[in-house]
Structure 1
Amino acid sequence: MTEQYKDESSGISRRHFVKATSALVATPLFYHAAARACTHHTAPTEGVSPNNERVVPTCSTFDCGGKCDIRAHVADGVVTRITTRPDDELDLDMPIMRACVRGRSYRKFVYHPDRLKYPMKRVGKRGEGKFERISWDEATTLIADNLKRITAKYGPASRYVHVGTAVSGGTFSGDAMVRRLLNLTGGYLPYYHSVSMGNTAAATPYTYGVAASGSSLDTLLDTKLVILWGHNTTETIFGHSNHYFQQMKNNGTRFIVVDPRYSDTASSLADQWIPLRPSTDNALMDAMMYVIVSENLHDKAFIDRYAIGFDEDTMPEGVPANESLVAYLMGAKDGIKKTPEWAEPITHVPAQTIRQLARDYANTKPAALIQGWGPQRHNCGERTARGSTLLATITGNVGVKGGWAAGYGGIGNRKFTTGPDMPDNPVPAKISVMNWVQAADDASKVTPQDGLTGAEKLTSNIRILFSLAGNYLANQNPDINHTIKVLEDESKIEFIVASDLYLTPSARYADLLLPESSFMERWNIGETWGTGNYLLLSEKLIDSPFEARSDYEWLREVAAKLGVEKAFSQGRDEKAWIEHIWEASRKALPDENLPSFADLQIQRRHLFKSKPYVAFEDNIRDPQNHPFATPSGKIEIFSKRLYDMQHPEIPALSHYVPAHEGPEDVLATKYPLQLITWKGKNRANSTQYANPWLQEVQTQKLWINPLDAEKRGIAQGDSVRIHNDRGISMVPAEVTQRIMPGVVAMQAGAWWQPDANGVDHGGCANVLSSSRITALAKGNSHQTMLVEVAKA
C-alpha cells in the first residue's frame, strides 16, 4: 500500500499529526499527577490552563461499558494529554467515572502512524490488503454507482450493514446513518440478535415474560452474598460495577466467583473461587437446586404465590406427569437424582463444594446470583441463562432489594437518547447476525428454521456490504477460515465498503477502504451501561488528520449522487444532528430534566441520579395489578411454550443437556481441551488492538494449567500450536494455575494474523470457534470450542 504524506491534502494533516505523535514520546503513559491536573475546575466545564491549553471533559463512543469521564488537554489543535475526573468533582451519589487504562491511552490510538489517511480502492485479490489511493469524489461515486447497479439487479434485500461496535457507544454513528440512507432508497436486509447477550435476551422471557434485566447496583449495598457467575467486571469495566462492588466488599459482602479462570475479578473480589467446566453450568445449577429442595431450603411461600411448574400440583394444563422441577431433580422420569455426586464428574466441582454453595445461596437472605455474558455465549447458553432464573425463583430472590433475577443487565441499560430519525425499512425479511455468511454464500439455505423471520425465503444473496467501524467481518466472526472463503469469492458479495481508523483484518477484505475520523474528531453523545445513568457530550476536539472523514460526511455525498441528500441530511451537519437528537430526547423524556443542548455544551454531562431500581419489584409487590407478562401471569419455572416446541435442546425446564463440543462430546477424544476466551482490560472487543501502549498492558498468550502443560511437554513461554478441524493459532504459553485443568483460555479480540499457510500467529480464537447457532435464539456460540494444544 503506497501512500504519500502531503500537507496540502488536509488543513492540519501532517504538521499537526507529526506534532501530536512527537508529543506522545515526551509524555509518559501514566501521568502521576493526573487527578491533580484539573483540580482547579469545580464543574465539568472547559478549563484553560496557564499555557492556554483547554481542558475538555469528553468520552469515547466505543462499545465500552464504562464510558469514562476523561479530560482532553487541547492546545494548538492537538490533544496533548489525557487526564481524568479530579477529586473535587466526586459525587457520592454516582459512580466514580475515572478512566481505566483504555481511557488513559486514547491519544496513542488517535495519534498513530498506522492510521488510514486516504480513500483507497482494492487493486489486488480480495483479502491481500493491496490498495491504491483515490479521491473522495471517486470513492463516493463508486458507492453510489454500485448501490444503483446492485439494487437494480438484485433488489434491496441484497444490501447489508454489518455490526460496528467501535461506534455503538454513541447515539449517532455511520452504521446507523447508512441504514437511514438505504431505507430512503428501498431498504436493506436487517439482522437481529446481540452477539454480546442475545441468548439471554431470548431465553429469559420464557421465565418472566420479558427479557430479564438486573436491578440497579445501588440496591445491593447491603447484600450479604453475591455470586458472580462468569462475570468478569474488573477487566471489562462493566457499567461501573466495580464502584459498587468495592463498596459492598468494604461493607462485608461475601463474593463467590464461579469461573473456569481465576480472573482479575476473582483476584480482586472473591472470598471463594469455584472453577467450573465450560458448558456444564446447568449441571451445577441442577445439583444446587436438588440440595435446596431436598433440604427444604426453598422459599415455599414465594413459589406458591408467584410461580408455576415447581411441583406436580403447579403444572399448566395439558402436560403429562413428572415434568415439574421437583420431578426432574428427583429423577422421576430418568431414574437419576440430580445430586452433587451426579454433578461432580460433569462439572469437576466437588460435591461438598456444590452443597456448600447451594446452602450459602439459599440461607443468605437476600442473595444475588449475577450471571455474566460469557456463559450464555455457548451453544447451551439459553439453558444457562434460564437456569439462573430458576435458582433466583426458588430462593425468593426475584423482585426483592438485594436479590437478583437473572443475568447482568441494569436499569441503566435503557436508552436515554432517541437516536437519529429512521425511516421504515421496506424489506420485511430479517436474519440472525449469525446467518450473514450463509446469506452471502447461498441465501436459499437461510430458512425460518435457521433464523429467518418475516419471510419464508430470501429474495437474494447479500451482494453489497457495509462494514463501518467494525471488525466482525473477518476477525470477530466465528470460523474465520470458512468466512474468508466466502469473502474471497467475488461472484458472491460483489462490493464491500469498509470504513475504519486502521487496516484491520476485516478492512483487508474491502473493495473500497475509507479513513474514518476518531471520536475526538466528531460530535456525539456517549451513553453508559449498567447503573451509570449519565450522558456525556463527546464533542469535536480536533480536526481529522490527512483526508480522514466521518462516515456521515461522505454519506451525504453518496446521498446527493443518489438524489436523496435533502431527505437524508434534512439540512443538518453532524453537530446539528446531535443537537436535534438531544432536543428530541428532552421531549421524549420530560421527567429526566435534560438540559438544553446549549447548556449541555457548558456542563458537558447530565447525571440522572435515578432512584434505586429493583427488577420485577412491582410484580412481586402487587401481583394482582402487575402480573408477569407470561401466559400464566406468573414466573414460569416450567414453560409450556418451550414444551410445545418439543426440541431436545430447548427443555421446558432449563436443565443440563450435554453441549455440542462440550466435555462429554465424542469429539473430546480427539480434542480434549475446552478453549474459552475472556474480554480483557486493554481493549473493547478488538478496538484498540493497534494501540501499542495497550499491547504492553496485556500480551496475547494461551493460559494452560500446569497439569495439561506437563502432559504435552510445554513450558512457560513456549510457542504452542492450538488447533482443531477449523483452524490453527500459535501463541506463547502462559502456564498457570489460574486456569482449571482441561480448559485453556485466550483473551478475545486479538487481530487475526495468518501466514502463507493460513496459520494464525496473532492469537485470534475465531479461527477455532464454531459458527453453530443456538437452538432458541439462533444466536452465537463463540465460546464452545474443543481444541488440542501442542508445543510448536
Structure 2
Amino acid sequence: MPLFFWGYGMSEHENIGDSRFPGVTRRGFLKAGSALATLPFVLTRPATAADNDISETAEATAERVVQTCSTFDCGGKCDIRAHVADGVITQITTRPDNELDPDMPIMRACVRGRSYRKFIYHPDRLKYPMKRVGKRGEGKFERISWDEATTLIASNLKRITAQYGPESRFVHVGTAVSGGTFSGDKMMRRLLNLTGGYLESYHSVSMGNTAAATPYTYGVAASGNSLDTLMETKLVILWGHNPTETIFGHTNHYFQQMKQNGTRFIVVDPRYSDTVSSLADEWIPLLPSTDNALMDAMMYVIISENLHDKAFIERYTIGFDEASMPQGVPANESLVAYLMGDKDGVVKTPQWAEKITHVPAQTIRQLARDYATTKPAALIQGWGPQRHNCGERTARGSTLLATLTGNVGVKGGWAAGYGGCANRKFAAGPEMPENPVKESISVMNWVQAADDASKVTQEDGLKGRDKLKSNIRILFSLAGNYLANQNPDLQQAVKVLEDESKIEFIVVSDLYMTPSARYADILLPETSFMERWNIGETWGTASYLVLSEKLIEPEFERRSDYDWQREVAAKLGIEPQFSEGRTEKQWIEHIWEQTRLSMPDEHLPTFSELQKKRKHLFKSKPYVAFEDNIRDPQNNPFPTPSGKIEIFSKRLYDMKHPEIPALSHYVPAHEGPEDELAKQFPLQLITWKGKNRANSTQYANPWLQEVQVQKLWINPQDAEKRGIRQGDIVRIHNLRGVCQVPAEVTVRIMPGVVAMQAGAWWQPDADGVDHGGCPNVLSSARITPLAKGNSHQTMLVEVAKYESAV
C-alpha cells in the first residue's frame, strides 16, 4: 500500500495532475490549477504552452456563473461568483458595483474569496480514506477503502461505547464548516445522540468570554445595533476591533460610508492594524491586558469633570454611587467609591493609568472627554481583547463606559460589550435529538478530560454533574484544525494526543494533511464547499442567507461527511432514523422550508425560487439594542435581577472571586506586564486574524501565502536591545515552547509588545522548535474565571536573534 507522509505528496504521481506525468486528462490538469508544490510552503511553477492551450479551451467552453458563498468560519459571506464550465470552476469573480443593495450590502469578495479556486484545485488535497500505520502524530498513513473506513469507525464506536459509556465520545469544534447551517460535525452529533449521546462542550473560542460577561450588565448578551443606525454617529472608538483584516460581516461598507460622512474614528490597539491605516483619525496603543486601567481612568475623568449623564444614570442604573447600591453590600463598593479610592486609597487618575497602560495621561484625559461630550458616540469592542485572561472584565468595562455617557439604547450610540445584534435571522438547522448525556465541559477542558477526567471539576467549568464518568476515549474532528494547531499550549495537547492509552480512536476529516490530521487514526478526504450543498449564514449585524450550491463533483474518492456518516449509521443499524431518507440536498431543502415556516413574516422564497434567486436579504428595520428598555423602562425593564443596568453586579459580588469584581475594574492579569514572570519574559505576544486566511483555513493556499508572510512584528526599540535587524530569524520562547520566524522590525507595534498573525500551521523540528510561526506553542491553556473560556492572547515571551551553529 502507498504511504502518505506529512509534508510530502502522494507517491502515486498520476494523481497530482501535472503534464509531466502521463495519463492525466486536460480537464484533470485544469482542476489541479497549476499549483504544483508540497505543503506547507508552495512554489508556483512557470507557465507553459499547455497552460495557454487549456486556458483558451476553457474560455471557448460555455460557462454558467453562479453566486455562492463559503461555509468557513468567516464573517463575510461575501458575494462569490463561480464560473463553471464542463464541471470545472474556471474563475472566481464577485458582484459588480452596480448590484449593491443599500439595505443589506453583501460584500464584494476579498482576497480569500477570490483565491478559493486555488484552494480547491490543489494537488495536495487529500484524495482517499486512509488509516494510520505509524505512531500517532508521525503522519504515516496507508490507503484503505471507504467500506473499511466506515467499518472501523462503526466497530470502534460500538466497542468504546460498550466499555466506557457514551460520555467517552466527543466531537471537537470544526470552524471550517461553522459558517453554514448544515455540517458534518452537526450531523455527527445527531448520529451520536441516536446511539446514546456524547460529552458536549460549550463556550465560543471566538467571543465566549464577552458573551458571558455582558449579561451581568444588561441581562442579555446581544448588545449591538444594526450598523445602519450609526450613519450619523459623530465618533466611533474601535477598541481592539480590526474589521478591515478580519472581514467582519458588512462592517467595512458602513464604516467607509461613515468615514466619508465625517465620522471620527479612534482605534485603541497595541498594533497599527490595517483598520487603523484605513479608518483611524487617531491611534492609541496600550499594553495588552491593561484595558481596564484605561477604562477606569476614563471613567474617573468623566465623573470628576462632571461629564457623565446624570439623568440617564439615575433613571436606568444601580451601583453608580453609594446611594444607588443594592441592599446587603457594605460601604465603599460603588463605582464612584472605587474610582476615588475610598476603599483602597488609590485614585484612578490618568497618571495612575499611564504607568500601567503606557498611554500618556493627557491622551487618556482627551479620549474620555471626546467620548463623553460627543453625542452620540459608539464604543465598539472587538473580540481580541476578551481573549485574555482578563477578557471578561474588559468586556464588561466597556459597558460601564457606554452607560456613564448615556450611549445605551439610543440611535448612533452603542452599548458595548458583546455587540451581537439580536435582530439577526438564522436558518433552522438540522433537527437534533436530545442528548441523553447531561454533563458538559468547556471546550477549554477537552485536553484535561482526555488526560484525566477525574480532575475536571465544576470549578474548571464542568456542568450537569459533580464529576465526569469517563475520559474522552473516541474523538471526531471534522473540518477542524484545533487539535494540534489552534489549541492553546499546543505542546501539552499533543502529548495527550500521542498517548494511545488516553484517546483510543481519533477520526479526522479534512481537505489537507493539516497538523491536526497527523494525529488521526482514520483520515478521511472531505469535500470543499463547492462540492456539497449548504446555506451560508452571516456574522455580526449582517442579516442574510446565501445558498451554497454543489457546483462540481468531488474528484478521486472524496466524500462529504454526511455521505460516509450514512454508511456508519447503517452499520450501527440506525440509518433510517439518522438520514430520514434524505440526501444532502434534500436536507438543505428541508432546512430551508423549516426556516420559511418559522419566519412567515419574512416572505422567504421557496427552495426552487431560492435556487434561482441565490440569496435572501432580510429587510429588517434599523435596530437599536435596548431602545425599548430606555424608552419605556416601566413596561420594559432590563432582564437583570434589579430590572436596571447593573454597574455593580450583586451576582458577581456574591461569587467572592477576586478576578471577577462586581465592578468591572482593573486587576493585574496573569502573564500581564505586572506579573513576576515578566522579569524573565519581558515581551507580551499578541496575535491577529489576518486578511489571507480564516483561522488556519487556507494556510495551504499558495496565492494567500504570497499575500502575507508569517513574521514576528517587533518594535525598533525592542529589536535594537536584542541586536535584531529586519529579516533576521528570531526565536520567540517561553516556558511552554519555542517558535522561529523572520523578524519584521516596525513601528506598527508598540514597545514591549510583539505580534504574529494567528493560524499558521505548526511545523516542529526534531527538537520541537516550531518553524511555521504557530503562536499556540507559546499560548496558555489557563481558563477565564467566569466563562471558563480561553485566554490564549495573554502570553509573556522573550525574543532573541537566532545564531546558526554553522
Question: TM-score when scaled to structure 1?
Answer: 0.95
Contact 2:16 2:123 in 1 (8 A): no
Contact 1:206 1:636 in 2 (8 A): yes
Query: What's 2:39 paired with?
Result: none
Contact 2:509 2:524 in 1 (8 A): yes
How far apart are 1:591 and its partner, in Å? Answer: 1.5
Instruction: Check if 1:745 corresponds to 2:755.
Output: yes
- C-alpha separation in 1, matches of 2:664 and 2:588: 44
- C-alpha separation in 2, matches of 1:142 and 1:414: 42
| Secondary structure in structure 1 of the residue aligned to 2:448 | helix
Match 2:627 to one of 617, 631, 636:
617
- C-alpha separation in 2, matches of 1:349 and 1:655: 17
How far apart are 1:186 and its partner, in Å? Answer: 0.1
Contact 1:412 1:530 in 2 (8 A): no
Amino acid at match of 2:272: Y
Contact 1:13 1:545 in 2 (8 A): no
Query: What's 2:51 paired with?
Result: none
How far apart are 1:532 and its partner, in Å? Answer: 2.3
Query: What's 2:92 paired with?
Result: 82
Q: 1:640–1:507: structure 2 CA closer, same or farther, 3 Å change rule?
A: same
How far apart are 1:7 and its partner, in Å? Answer: 8.0
How far apart are 1:97 and its partner, in Å? Answer: 1.7
Query: What's 2:32 paired with?
Result: 21
| Secondary structure in structure 2 of the residue aligned to 1:498 | strand
Amino acid at match of 1:502: Y
Query: What's 1:557 paired with?
Result: 567
Instruction: Give the fraction of aligned pairs with identical amino acids, expressed as a percent.
Output: 82
- C-alpha separation in 2, matches of 1:173 and 1:574: 10
How far apart are 1:408 and its partner, in Å? Answer: 5.1
| Secondary structure in structure 2 of the residue aligned to 1:288 | helix
- C-alpha separation in 2, matches of 1:239 and 1:56: 21
| Secondary structure in structure 2 of the residue aligned to 1:285 | helix
Match 2:12 to one of 4, 7, 15:
4
Instruction: Check if 1:127 corresponds to 2:100.
Output: no
Query: What's 2:53 paired with?
Result: none
Query: What's 2:52 paired with?
Result: none
Query: What's 2:329 paired with?
Result: 319
Please show how residues 76-475 of structure 1 align to structure 2 within 5 Å: 76-407=86-417, 409-411=419-421, 414-475=424-485
Q: 1:611–1:49: structure 2 CA closer, same or farther, 3 Å change rule?
A: farther
- C-alpha separation in 2, matches of 1:591 and 1:257: 39
Instruction: Check if 1:704 corresponds to 2:704.
Output: no
| Secondary structure in structure 2 of the residue aligned to 1:644 | helix
How far apart are 1:607 and its partner, in Å? Answer: 1.0
- C-alpha separation in 2, matches of 1:584 and 1:8: 42
Unaligned runs of 5+ in 1: 30-47
Contact 1:330 1:338 in 2 (8 A): yes
Contact 2:91 2:117 in 1 (8 A): yes
Match 2:647 to one of 637, 652, 675:
637
- C-alpha separation in 2, matches of 1:513 and 1:350: 54
Instruction: Check if 1:689 corresponds to 2:699.
Output: yes
| Secondary structure in structure 2 of the residue aligned to 1:199 | helix
Match 1:501 to one of 493, 511, 520:
511
Match 2:775 to one of 765, 773, 789:
765
| Secondary structure in structure 2 of the residue aligned to 1:362 | helix
How far apart are 1:13 and its partner, in Å? Answer: 9.5
- C-alpha separation in 2, matches of 1:493 and 1:7: 33
Match 1:790 to one of 782, 791, 800:
800
Query: What's 1:44 paired with?
Result: none
How far apart are 1:95 and its partner, in Å? Answer: 1.6
Contact 2:424 2:542 in 1 (8 A): no
Amino acid at match of 1:473: L
- C-alpha separation in 1, matches of 2:794 and 2:706: 29
Match 2:76 to one of 59, 66, 80:
66
- C-alpha separation in 2, matches of 1:293 and 1:88: 49
Q: 1:588–1:632: structure 2 CA closer, same or farther, 3 Å change rule?
A: same
Match 1:568 to one of 557, 578, 581:
578
| Secondary structure in structure 1 of the residue aligned to 2:460 | coil
How far apart are 1:451 and its partner, in Å? Answer: 0.3
How far apart are 1:593 and its partner, in Å? Answer: 1.3
Contact 1:70 1:82 in 2 (8 A): yes
Question: TM-score when scaled to structure 2?
Answer: 0.94
Query: What's 1:38 paired with?
Result: none
| Secondary structure in structure 1 of the residue aligned to 2:547 | strand
Contact 2:449 2:471 in 1 (8 A): yes
- C-alpha separation in 2, matches of 1:231 and 1:264: 11
Amino acid at match of 1:725: L
- C-alpha separation in 2, matches of 1:109 and 1:8: 14
Contact 1:440 1:492 in 2 (8 A): yes
- C-alpha separation in 2, matches of 1:550 and 1:14: 24
- C-alpha separation in 2, matches of 1:161 and 1:179: 7
Contact 1:444 1:458 in 2 (8 A): yes
How far apart are 1:23 and its partner, in Å? Answer: 6.3
- C-alpha separation in 2, matches of 1:383 and 1:166: 30
Amino acid at match of 2:31: A
How far apart are 1:4 and its partner, in Å? Answer: 3.0
Match 1:601 to one of 603, 611, 617:
611
| Secondary structure in structure 1 of the residue aligned to 2:459 | coil
Contact 1:373 1:407 in 2 (8 A): no
- C-alpha separation in 2, matches of 1:14 and 1:444: 56
How far apart are 1:50 and its partner, in Å? Answer: 7.7
- C-alpha separation in 2, matches of 1:7 and 1:338: 66
Contact 1:14 1:545 in 2 (8 A): no
Contact 2:423 2:623 in 1 (8 A): no
Instruction: Check if 1:547 corresponds to 2:537.
Output: no
Amino acid at match of 2:707: V
Unaligned runs of 5+ in 2: 5-9, 18-22, 37-43, 45-57
| Secondary structure in structure 2 of the residue aligned to 1:449 | helix
How far apart are 1:259 and its partner, in Å? Answer: 0.1
Equivalenced residues, count: 769
Q: 1:6–1:571: structure 2 CA closer, same or farther, 3 Å change rule?
A: farther
Amino acid at match of 2:347: K
Amino acid at match of 2:526: E
Q: 1:444–1:14: structure 2 CA closer, same or farther, 3 Å change rule?
A: farther
Contact 1:309 1:316 in 2 (8 A): yes
Q: 1:24–1:464: structure 2 CA closer, same or farther, 3 Å change rule?
A: closer
| Secondary structure in structure 2 of the residue aligned to 1:581 | helix
How far apart are 1:528 and its partner, in Å? Answer: 1.1
Amino acid at match of 1:368: A
Contact 1:728 1:760 in 2 (8 A): yes
Amino acid at match of 2:661: P
Q: Alpha-carbon deviations, 1:557-612, whole Å to 9, x = none? A: 00000000000000000000000000000001111211100000011111112111
| Secondary structure in structure 2 of the residue aligned to 1:737 | coil
| Secondary structure in structure 1 of the residue aligned to 2:754 | strand
Question: Aligned-pair RMSD on alpha carbons?
Answer: 1.7
Q: 1:150–1:414: structure 2 CA closer, same or farther, 3 Å change rule?
A: farther
| Secondary structure in structure 2 of the residue aligned to 1:787 | strand
Query: What's 1:39 paired with?
Result: none
Amino acid at match of 1:558: V
How far apart are 1:394 and its partner, in Å? Answer: 0.6
- Between 1:174-183 and 1:90-99, the stretch displaced more is 90-99
How far apart are 1:14 and its partner, in Å? Answer: 6.9
- C-alpha separation in 2, matches of 1:414 and 1:165: 20
